[in-house]
Each structure stands twice: as C-alpha cells, then as structure tokens.
Structure 1
Amino acid sequence: MKKLNLDWGAESNQRLNDFNMIDEFRLKANENSALYKENMKRYHDQRIDNPEFVVGDLVLLFNSRLLLFSGKLKSKWTKPLLVTKVLPNGAVELENSEGTRFLVNGQRIKIYLGNSKSVQGDFEAYYLD
C-alpha cells in the first residue's frame, strides 16, 4: 500500500489556494460579463432610431389590440392621422378625419410614406398648401 499524506497543514493551504483561485475566476468572469453587457448596450443604443415628428405630418398608429386577435391579412397600422402637437416627453397629439384629437405615445406611430392624394378627407388641405 502507498503511504498516505497526513500533513494537514499542507493540505489546508492547498485547499485555501484552490478556493482563492475559484474566487479570482468568478471575479474575472463577472468583469467580462459586465464589459460584454456594456458593449452590447452601446451597440444597441447606436442603432435605435428616434424619429422626430413635426406638426402637420401624417402618421400611422399601431393597433396593439390586433396582436391578440390578428388575422392573416389585417394591417396592424390604422389609417393616416395628422400630428397636431408634439410634447417634450415623447407623447404626440393626433387628429383623425372626424376631427377628434387624442394623445398617444410616440413609439406607437410611424411616418406615413404614401401619397398625400390617396388620403381621403380633411388631410388633403394640409398637403396642398
């Protein structure tokens, strides 16, 4: 039989060194994770497009209720609406063709890129001036 190493002092020092190495490894992993998250946040933030709306723009409003009961061919964007006021906190006041005004979050709308002639109702007057 082999002789057992019964030197408890050396074994306890070796065990403490192993624990310290594990702690160092964890700290390095946390630092690397924090750096990765910071870089990914910077990359993501660079690619965020914040459109600025101007009074008189035609926009489309996202209908979030259609996500629950969506049909294949239903559009999630409502007909063009007119921007009447832009608030500094990102909210936008819109007006529909009947003249009703309401506030929405600026993230729920996008610029309407269609022809102004294809828009029916009162909005033609804004683009013919």
Structure 2
Amino acid sequence: MSQAGAKRKLQLSELEELRNDAYASARIYKARTKVFHDKHIVRKSIEPGNKVWLFNSKLKLFPGKLRSRWNSPYQVQTVTPHGAITIFDPKKGKTLQVNGQRLKQYIKDSVPTEGVESVTLADPIYST
C-alpha cells in the first residue's frame, strides 16, 4: 500500500508539471500572437476637424461592380484614445460614433481642371 501511495503521489506531481508546462506554453503562444497582431495594425492620424470617408460594410453582400464602398466625406468631431471617433454627416445633420478602422482620410482632388482637353469616344468617320 505504501508503494502504491508513493507511486500515486509521483503521478500527481508529474501531472501537475505537465499542466504547468501547458500553461507556460499557452502564455508564450498568446504573447507571440499579440506581438504579431500589434505589428500589423495600421495607426491612422485622424484629428478633429478633418474630413474622412466611412466604409460601408453593408455593401459586402451585393456591392455592384464599380460601386464604391466608401460613403461621402464626414467631418470628424472627437477622437477618443481607444479608437472610437465621433463624425458628423453634413448632408443629414446626424452624428455617428464609429470605429477608427472604418475610416480613411479624405483628400481633395488635386488634378487641375485648366487646360484639360476632352476627347469623345464616338465612332470614327472614315472617308472613302
């Protein structure tokens, strides 16, 4: 009986060591995964007063071939430290709070319109 008791205690201590090794391995895996994830996060510099585009996630199912998934420019009102951004829609007069990952900077068209020549795409007329 004493040998069986000693053997059982040894098995329990081995089981405890295996459990501790599994916890340590899981902790290392989670730390590596977090470092990998954090490295690939793109930080955006959005400040109050800027104009931004809002990603329309409802268009994922039936987007249409050439339809843009970004909605008209919104005005940024407030930016919180954890990524929530309050935006204002000037067309509807509504205020929305969205995740900063759904926004991208609005950049005005910088293409000059002066001196631009237009070309029509009509069928050419051939002389015979």
TM-score norm. by structure 1 comes to: 0.62
Q: 1:91 to 1:24 in 2, by over 3 A?
A: same
What corresponds to 2:56 in structure 1? Answer: 63
Structure 2 counterpart of 1:51, which letter?
Answer: K
Deviation at 1:30, TM superposition (A): 0.5
* Contact kept in structure 2, 1:83 and 1:94, CA below 8 Å: yes
What corresponds to 2:87 in structure 1? Answer: 93
SS at match of 1:48: coil
SS at match of 1:23: helix
Q: Percent identity?
A: 24
2:102 matched to 1:108?
yes
* Counterpart-to-counterpart distance in 2, 1:100 and 1:15: 73
Higher helix proportion:
1
SS at match of 1:78: strand
Higher strand proportion:
2
Unaligned stretches of 5+ in structure 2? Answer: 113-128
Deviation at 1:110, TM superposition (A): 1.2
Unaligned stretches of 5+ in structure 1? Answer: 1-7, 119-129
* Counterpart-to-counterpart distance in 1, 2:5 and 2:59: 65
* Counterpart-to-counterpart distance in 1, 2:6 and 2:33: 41
Deviation at 1:21, TM superposition (A): 0.5
* Contact kept in structure 2, 1:54 and 1:83, CA below 8 Å: no
Deviation at 1:109, TM superposition (A): 1.1
Q: Deviations over 1:23-53 (max 9, x none)?
A: 1111111111112212321332233222121
4+ runs deviating over 4 angstroms:
none
Q: 1:84 to 1:116 in 2, by over 3 A?
A: farther
TM-score norm. by structure 2 comes to: 0.63
Q: 1:38 to 1:21 in 2, by over 3 A?
A: same
Residue 20 of structure 2, aligned match among 23, 27, 33: 27
What corresponds to 1:5 in structure 2? Answer: none
